[in-house]
Amino acid sequence: MSDPVVLVLSGPNLNLLGWREPSVYGTDTLDDHVGRATEAGRRVGVVVEHLQSNHEGELIEAVHRARGNADALIVNAGALTHTSWSLHDALAAFDGVVIELHLSNPAGREPFRHTSVIAPVANGVIAGFGGLGYELAVEAAKRLLDENRPLDENKENQR
């Protein structure tokens, strides 16, 4: 049996990490964060794949392709977290674990960031831990997969 696959999806402007608002997002690059996730995956026995796009449709297509090819999704959708009902719908159709991830704590920021349209179709949200969040998300995905709990009641109600 091969190791489970966890696909990390990174949304718009995350390619600018390390330069964009370092007081909010830190100085580590997206490659640094994906490297942490990949290393955490090695430790817990999952294969980590990654895709970053500044285009909503490309992220939605990645979720569609993940059906049957990935066991879990970790989604840092950036600003699409608060606006993309299309991404919400794609994630709702994914049968594996979905974890929403944020470097910062959206609840402690501007009011428009307080509402997530991704959270209702996610098993859980990890926010505010900076780069550590990537490791925590991989570990959480693996534990949920080990417990054979890809769906929780909240996510099931969204289908």
Please list the active-site residues: 25, 102
Tokens of 68: 């049957």
- For 76-123, the three-class secondary structure string (H helix, E strand, C coil) is ECHHHHHCCHHHHHHHHCCCCEEEEEECCCHHHCCHHHCCCCCHHHCC
How many Å apart are CA 15 and CA 17, to the nearest integer?
6
**Residue 73 φ/ψ, nearest 5 degrees:** -120, 135
Collect all residues with Cβ–Cβ distance below 8 Å to 72 and sequence separation of at least 6: 4, 5, 6, 7, 46, 96, 97, 98, 99, 141, 142, 144, 145, 150
CA Rg, the chain, in Å?
14
